[in-house]
Structures are given as C-alpha cells and as structure tokens.
Structure 1
Amino acid sequence: MADDRRVYIFGGCGDSGRFNDLWAYDPVDGKWMEYPTGGGGLKGRGGQGLAVAQDKIWVVYGFTGMEMDDVHYFHLAQNKWSQVETSGEKPTAKGVFFMCAIGKYVYIYGGEVDPSDLGHLGPGSSRERFTRWTRRRWSGGWAGLRESSWAEGLFLRTFYAISLIK
C-alpha cells in the first residue's frame, strides 16, 4: 500500500514465522524505514488488508494460524499502534483478500474463511464476493454493509492479483 511518498509493507511470513512489523520504502531517498512493531495485541500475520487513510496505516483481518476479524492502525504522527474495537455487523473473519480504501469506503474482494489443508497448493473456502463496507470515520463499528451488484457472476477466487488506479 502506498501514500503520496512511501510504500508500506506490514507482516507476512518468513522462516521464523509470521511477522507484525511495519516498514516503509521511500523511492525518492531510496531508503527503508522501520516503525515500531504492533505489540502483543497485533499478532503476526499474513494475508491481511492494508490501507493508508487519515494519517494512519490500517491493518485489517488476516491469518495468524486462524482467520482474524480484528482492526488495528499505526498513527504516523504519534508513532504508535492502536486496536479499534468494532461492533455490530461486520465482514466475516478472513485472510488472503483484496482491500483498498477510497474516500469513506473500504472495498474487500473475496478472501479465505477456512484455509486449505494443502497450504498454498490449493485454495481454502471462500464465501463472499466483492463487498463494500463503509467504515465510519475509520473508528467504531462497520456500517453500510452491502454487496456490490456489478461483481455478480465474477468467479470467486483466491491467490489473485488486482490493481487500483487513482
């Protein structure tokens, strides 16, 4: 995920397990910057959603050994992590999905709700298609939960590539 200056990377999987670290690459300076790790509340994970909005880096859901339904953000100006307490109707816990923020909306496509016993050799179970959720001021509960009609007929999938054009 990127803002006007940096490309951000959070977490992922490596030889030592799942990470909960946040890095930024500045292509102008050609340098990497490491931010504080997420701490105990933000477990290392892969397949999470990542968005930049309101001077914060948002980490949404992902896979920690099980699908998660938690939301965390790193406040760039305050240099600290916080967890958002969500309530009400919300997306199903999942990992390995597409997510982006455009204005006041978060768009999520697909995702695994149950991993495959074959690991990356086969897709896990997916049950949701393209959905748009309104995230009220990026804090509190999810609102405006609805499925998008334009995605009707789009074959449900995992392990795909997608691009966002602004």
Structure 2
Amino acid sequence: MDPIDEKGSLWRCNPASPSWDLVKTTSPEYPAARSYHAMTSDGVKTIYLHAGCPSKGRLSDLWAFDTESLEWTELPSAPGPARGGTSITFCQGKLYRMGGFDGSSEQGGILDCYEPETRSWQNMSFSPDGIHGPGARSVATLLSLRSAGEHVLLTMFGESDPSSLGHAGAGKMLRDAWIFSIRGSAWKKIVFEGDVPAARGWFSADVLLGGDRDAVIIHGGLAEDNSRLGDVWRMELVGDFY
C-alpha cells in the first residue's frame, strides 16, 4: 500500500469560506510519505507528526511543523518499536504517546513522554491488564482535557487484536475508556452511564472545551464486523476521578 506523497505539504481548511488550500513547506527536508500516522498540535504554532507506515515497514520518527515559517524540523525519534496506528497528544508543554501496532502485536503498558525543551523522551510503565491500566491497543485515541480543573489524558476504544487480513479487515475492537492523572501518575477506568458507542477503531475524536470540565466528541470508525461507521457521540465526564 503506497501512501499519498505531497512533499511535506499540509491541507488547511478555512471554515468561513468554506474552502481548502494546500500549504507547501519551505523546508528542503520533510517527513516521508506515510499512512496510519499520528498528529497533534501544541495549540500555539507547532504541529507534531509521528510514526506511521511508509510503502514498506513502519516508522518511529517525530517531526515538528512551524505554522508560521512553514518549516519542518526532525526531532529525536520515539523509543521503539516502530509502529503504525499509535496515538499522541500535547498537554502542559509535553507530548505524550501510547499504543500502536508494530507488525506483530499491539503495543501497551508504556506511556511515552517527549519534552520539547530538553529534546528527550521518558516513559512511564503500567500494567495493561484492563484493571490497573488500559490494555494494549492501536488505532485508538489519546486526548488531553480537563476534569474538575485538573489536566488529564484520556484513551478510549481501538483495536486489541489485529485481523488476519491486516489493513483490509477489522480485528477485535474495544469499547472502554480510561483517564490518566498526570499529577498522580495513575489510570482509572471510566464507568459509562446511558448509551455507549459501539466498539471501534480508526475513528476521529477531539475535545470540546467548556468551563473547568471538557467533553469528548467521537465520529465514525471501523466496527468489529468490518463495517464503516458514520455516527457522532458526545461524552461528558461527571464527578471527580481522583
């Protein structure tokens, strides 16, 4: 499977128009074309790109795109193994990474953290047993949000066991969600109330800001029966987690 190669360019949407335009980089060096990668932003002017699948193999590289200068900068690669379908998010000046698929197994039990100021990676280990921490997964999500005024990370859903068809099929999908307290370095499983979205991977998710407590929006994805989903859900966090 060959990824689309647009020479380090990004597409920008102007919702006021509405219209799209292609933003070309000013850098002579830029990330290799890939799919199943992860992207996030620091909320100021930097977009981070990590890992994914080129035409062959998997990557573990990390790049930063400056939205003002339109330049790409290669940063220190993340700890191995190289992977696709990983998840990253930016919170309180740091980049967090977890999960993914290395070609043999789903990754779990480690939350990696990149510090831009020191250009270094650190990691925090946890038990991915589904009791003390989320199980290994790929094509999930990792989000930064506030709950009761505290900055936390959230991971949810994803694939826990790959399909024998590879990218052409759906594996075993998850239906759980977990909150990670950065301050307490501990995971806690979310107990859902009311209707719950179907298990899925390869979906879109983002944070809806509000007061001292944010909400999460998810859309679409791939269901366990290999069908494509087009639904939209909003999840609100109620109560204190720690």
TM-score, normalization: structure 2?
A: 0.60
1:76 to 116, 126, 131: 116
User: How many angstroms apart in 2 are the aligned matches of 1:143 and 1:109?
Assistant: 12
1:136 and 2:186 are equivalent in the alignment? no
User: How many angstroms apart in 1 are the aligned matches of 2:165 and 2:207?
Assistant: 30
Percent identical: 25
Q: Which of 61-70 and 81-90 deviates more?
A: 81-90
Maintained 8 Å contact 2:145/2:207: no
Give the Å deviation of 1:53.
1.5
Question: Where is the helix percentage greater, Structure 1 or Structure 2?
Answer: 1
Corresponding residue pairs, total: 160
Q: 2:60 maps to which residue?
A: 20
Deviation digits for residues 36-94 of structure 1 (CA, Å, limit 9, x no counterpart) = 112xx432111111011132111112111211112111111111111213357000100
User: How many angstroms apart in 1 are the aligned matches of 2:90 and 2:75?
Assistant: 15
Maintained 8 Å contact 1:42/1:72: no
2:162 to 106, 109, 115: 115
Paired residue secondary structure (2:117): coil
- CA pair 81-32 structure 1, distance change in 2 beyond 3 A: same
Maintained 8 Å contact 1:23/1:33: yes
Give the Å deviation of 1:17.
1.3
1:91 and 2:134 are equivalent in the alignment? yes
Maintained 8 Å contact 1:123/1:159: no
Q: 2:30 maps to which residue?
A: none
Give the Å deviation of 1:30.
0.8
User: How many angstroms apart in 1 are the aligned matches of 2:156 and 2:187?
Assistant: 17
Maintained 8 Å contact 2:87/2:141: yes
Paired residue secondary structure (1:67): coil
Structure 1 unaligned blocks of 5 or more:
none
Deviation digits for residues 105-129 of structure 1 (CA, Å, limit 9, x no counterpart) = 2222310000011112211101323
Please report the RMSD computed on the Cα atoms of aligned residues, expressed in angstroms: 2.0
Q: 1:106 maps to which residue?
A: 153
Larger RCO: Structure 1 or Structure 2 (Cα < 8 Å, ≥ 6 residues apart)?
Answer: 1
1:44 to 75, 78, 82: 82
User: How many angstroms apart in 2 are the aligned matches of 1:50 and 1:136?
Assistant: 15
Give the Å deviation of 1:154.
1.4
- CA pair 34-145 structure 1, distance change in 2 beyond 3 A: same
1:145 and 2:189 are equivalent in the alignment? yes
Maintained 8 Å contact 1:105/1:132: no
Maintained 8 Å contact 1:136/1:143: no
Paired residue secondary structure (2:196): coil
